[in-house]
């Protein structure tokens, strides 16, 4: 009896140890890319003098990235006069699909080596791929990383092309710590939390909120 109980206890302990090893391995697999990621440099974008709905730049990694926005109904987008609730279709190409990105309305930093932000809106709770109402997102998280895909709003359309298309709802211009009626803001792409200090994916379509 005692021998049988000891054997069961040993089996349980071995199973728990195996689970712990698997969990630890998964944690290490997630953390190592974050801790070892090296910045590829800047995106190479020079902010446009006029309001435009498409920008393009060749980054330090040699990739030419483009970012554009149109009204979701296909009408021309006026970045000089945006309004909260306005629905846009934001598209990009040439991005490095190995680096996830956030797409949001953010403050444009005066120093291009600094992460864009703060940003308006946010990813709503429960915004997981396949379950979120992607028509009402004020920001999007795009990644192909297996460890984070379930929590992102979507993946890249094509990894080789580094392309994506997402819907973005313009949020209210004011939130705690940011007023986009005073601070210059833009529809922005930036590397996600796995590569926070990498500026190579930063692109900006500057916008201004309509008065009244």
pLDDT mean over 159-187: 94
Task: Yes or no: say if 89 and 72 are a contact pair by the CB < 8 Å rule.
Answer: yes
- Of 2-11, 13-22, 106-115, 165-174, give the lowest mean pLDDT range: 13-22
pLDDT tens for 51-101 read 999 999 999 999 999 999 999 887 789 999 999 999 999 999 999 999 999
pLDDT tens for 15-58 read 666 665 555 544 444 445 554 556 778 999 999 999 999 999 99
pTM for this one? Answer: 0.81
**Mean pLDDT taken over the chain:** 84
Task: Yes or no: say if 199 and 42 are a contact pair by the CB < 8 Å rule.
Answer: yes
Token reading at 168: 């973005």
Token reading at 45: 């974008």
Q: Nearest CA to 55 among 102, 83, 90, 101?
A: 90
Q: Nearest CA to 90 among 146, 164, 22?
A: 164
What percent of the chain is modeled with pLDDT above 90?
A: 60
């Amino acid at each position: 009896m005692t021998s049988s109980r000891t054997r069961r206890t040993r089996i349980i302990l071995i199973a728990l140890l195996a689970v712990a090893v698997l969990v630890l391995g998964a944690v290490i697999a997630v953390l190592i890319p974050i801790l070892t990621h090296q910045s590829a440099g800047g995106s190479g974008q020079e902010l446009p003098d006029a309001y435009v709905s498409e920008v393009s730049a060749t980054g330090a990694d040699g990739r030419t990235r483009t970012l554009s926005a149109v009204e979701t109904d296909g009408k021309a987008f006026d970045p000089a006069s945006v309004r909260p609730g306005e629905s846009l279709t934001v598209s990009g190409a040439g991005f490095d699909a190995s680096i996830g990105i956030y797409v949001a309305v953010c403050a444009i930093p005066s120093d291009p080596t600094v992460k864009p932000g703060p940003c308006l809106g946010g990813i709503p709770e429960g915004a997981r791929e396949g379950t979120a109402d992607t028509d009402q997102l004020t920001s999007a998280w795009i990644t192909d990383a297996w460890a984070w895909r379930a929590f992102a709003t979507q993946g890249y359309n094509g990894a080789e092309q580094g392309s994506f298309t997402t819907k973005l709802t313009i949020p209210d211009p004011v939130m705690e710590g940011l007023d986009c009626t005073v601070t210059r803001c833009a529809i922005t792409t930036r590397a996600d939390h796995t590569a926070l200090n990498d500026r190579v994916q930063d692109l900006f379509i500057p916008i201004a909120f309509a008065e009244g």
